[in-house]
Amino acid sequence: MYDNDTEPTFPTNLLTIDQLSPAALQRLLNRSAAIKAGEEAGRLTDRTVAMVFEKPSTRTRTSFEAGVTQLGGHPTFLGQDDIHLGHGEPIKDTARALSQYVDTIVARLHSHDDLTELAAYADVPVVNALTDEAHPCQTLADLLTLREIAAESGEQLDDTTLAWVGDGNNVARSLVVGCALTGVELRVATPAGYGVDDDAIAAARAAGGEPALFDAPEAAVAGADAVYTDVWVSMGESEDKLPAFDGFQVGKQLLAGDTKLLHCLPAGRGREVTDGALESDQSVVWQQAGNRMPTQQALLLELLGA
Ligand code: CP
Ligand code: NVA
């Protein structure tokens, strides 16, 4: 949990978004914008970042690797068949060995408990690159994107109303807390049995938010500035859950006026989102994907005090 510091301090790790205070998150977004504008002087010279990935990734892996390289550091990718983790060596041993060599560990693991164990045994900062429970790096890019959209009409991030439509999954859990920390009004439409869990809602409330919960998309999107969806079947899950999502597809009918469309990607076109909506002028998914890099660069600079 965060402290309401006036002078924001950074946590040692970023495992969940609620480790950031509202002030620290604001500073991170400001620094991300400065990086994007080419105004950042911080460097990661001679720093090595281990990238431990148990699941596939296009955006997270590449934006971290390229982002570290741009800042003068060195990313080293350790996929599931590259290291002993998952093939007999325990997490705690992996954590203690890697800590001797690298300055940060970025990890995409199946189990959030495994990530917590990794962080407990590591002597260097650990960053969650997605687990079954959380995707805080995605939330950073989402918030920067919403801030940029708000700025186009002379507004602030906390003037924004966002609707989440679909599964109450890892991306949604981090988003509800990120919105609470930044004053974004969030409306969440999920089918019965697939809502955002009580812990995430409690974390959002602790951060000063009150997500409005709906069981159908139409009411949630009414008046929203942006609509956000994600896959209905996350990596490692069964497709048995699919029938529950009938009626939750985001198409142009849910994007009234100039309502923007967000999606963390990869997208299931024709499933949770229509091709027409994703390719429309209202879609900001490429801007959102692009924002993964400056936000993660800012995060690494803050974590390493660079
Ligand atoms: N949004 C996201 O995390 O994408 P990848 O799975 O491609 O990293
Ligand atoms: N909820 C998705 C996000 C992918 C970036 C998953 O976990 O597969």
- Each residue's pLDDT tens digit, 205-242: 999 999 999 999 999 999 999 999 999 999 999 999 99
What confidence tens digit (pLDDT) does each residue in 76-131 have?
999 999 999 999 999 999 999 999 999 999 999 999 999 999 999 999 999 999 99
Contact indicator for 207, 233 with CB cutoff of 8 Å: no
Mean pLDDT computed over 140-164: 98
Question: Six-digit token pair at 301?
Answer: 């600079």
* pLDDT > 90 in the chain, percent: 96
| Nearest CA, atom 7, ligand 1 | 58
What ranges in 125-252 are assigned the alpha helix state H? 136-152, 170-182, 198-206, 217-221
What ranges in the chain are assigned the alpha helix state H? 22-36, 59-70, 91-101, 112-121, 136-152, 170-182, 198-206, 217-221, 275-278, 285-290, 292-303
Distance 266 CA to ligand 1 centre (A): 6
The pLDDT value recorded for residue 1 is 45
Q: For the chain, give every domain's residue range.
A: 17-134+291-303, 138-290
The pLDDT value recorded for residue 9 is 87
Q: Is 47 in the pocket of ligand 1 (CB under 6 A)?
A: no
Q: Is 235 in the pocket of ligand 1 (CB under 6 A)?
A: no
| pTM over cut 0.85 | yes
In sequence order, the 6+-apart residues with CB closer than 8 A to the CB of 59 are 265, 289, 292
CATH number of 17-134+291-303: 3.40.50.1370
At the topology level of CATH, where does 138-290 sit? Answer: Rossmann fold (3.40.50)
Identity of the amino acid at 115: L
Q: Is 50 in the pocket of ligand 2 (CB under 6 A)?
A: no
Asked whether residue 256 carries a pLDDT value surpassing 70, the answer given is yes
Q: Is 170 in the pocket of ligand 2 (CB under 6 A)?
A: yes
Least distant ligand from the CA of 63: 1
Mean pLDDT computed over 59-80: 98
Q: Which of 142, 169, 196, 228 maximizes ligand 2 atoms within 8 Å of its Cβ, making it the mutation to test the pocket?
A: 169
Instruction: Check residues 179 and 5 and name the one with the higher pLDDT.
Output: 179
Please identify which residue in the block is written with the tokens 């609470």: 180
Distance 6 CA to ligand 2 centre (A): 34
What confidence tens digit (pLDDT) does each residue in 260-277 have?
999 999 999 999 999 999
Do 138-290 and 17-134+291-303 have the same topology in CATH?
A: yes
* Distance between CA atoms of residues 262 and 146, nearest Å: 9
Mean pLDDT computed over 63-69: 98
DSSP conformation class of 240? G
The pLDDT value recorded for residue 265 is 98
Active site residue 246: no
Question: Six-digit token pair at 129?
Answer: 């690159």
Sign of CA dihedral 82, 87, 91, 95: negative
The pLDDT value recorded for residue 94 is 98
The pLDDT value recorded for residue 8 is 79
What confidence tens digit (pLDDT) does each residue in 4-34 have?
445 678 999 999 999 999 999 999 999 999 9
Identity of the amino acid at 107: A
Q: Which of 11, 16, 50 is nearest to 137 (CA)?
A: 16
Phi then psi for residue 2, to 5 deg, are: -95, 160
- The pLDDT mean for the chain works out to 96
